[in-house]
Amino acid sequence: ILRSPQALQLTLALIKPDAVAHPLILEILSNKFLIVRMRELLWRKEDCQKFYREHEGRFFYQRLVEFMASGPIRAYILAHKDAIQLWRTVMGPTRVFRARHVAPDSIRGSFGLTDTRNTTHGSDSVVSASREIAAFFPDFSEQRWYEEEEPQLR
Ligand code: RTP
Ligand code: MG
């Protein structure tokens, strides 16, 4: 495959605390995407607040921040053609009721518990993907990765 953002788009995926060790989710993810980077970490509350700042003031904000800091999470950089949209389709709709009805085979449709404990997160645009990748992988350079001859997979 040609190494270009058109051929191989990057997205940030998070596995939330309710699903962090779920073997089926990890299997789906690694079967469908090229895993460029992965790290498991504990988020501080301040990190969650910063990451979700666009939702500050919404009724679920406090609960979301508390939940995301409640246990280990996994952050992935995933590569695929149209990775952003593909990962969002694989996750399914945010709302668990909708996910179960509209996309019962999606990750959220299969394993989501509530609208907050809904297993995964995915970047929603090229701009947020870059911002979110940089937030979790500050040493990662998208430009350098695209220029590399051989994929540096870790
Ligand atoms: P995500 O960020 O997970 O990819 O999903 P999204 O863009 O489709 O969802 P958005 O509306 O941006 O919501 C951001 C996060 O807030 C959580 N949430 N909890 N009623 C609730 O408790 C509630 N509503 C939304 C979602 O889990 C989502 O991660
Ligand atoms: Mg969102």
Whole-structure pTM value: 0.92
Instruction: Give the integer Cα–Cα distance in Å for 64 and 23.
Output: 23
- Report which bound ligand comes closest to the CA of 84: 1
- Which residue out of 22, 55, 101, 121 is catalytically annotated? 121
Cα dihedral sign, 80-82-85-86: negative
pLDDT tens-digit profile of 124-138?
999 999 999 999 999
- Which residue's C-alpha comes closest to atom 5 of ligand 1? 94
> Cβ of 7: how many Cβ atoms within 10 Å?
13
The tens digit of pLDDT for each residue in 12-43 reads: 999 999 999 999 999 999 999 999 999 999 99
Query: Is any atom of ligand 1 closer than 6 Å to the C-beta of 16?
Result: no
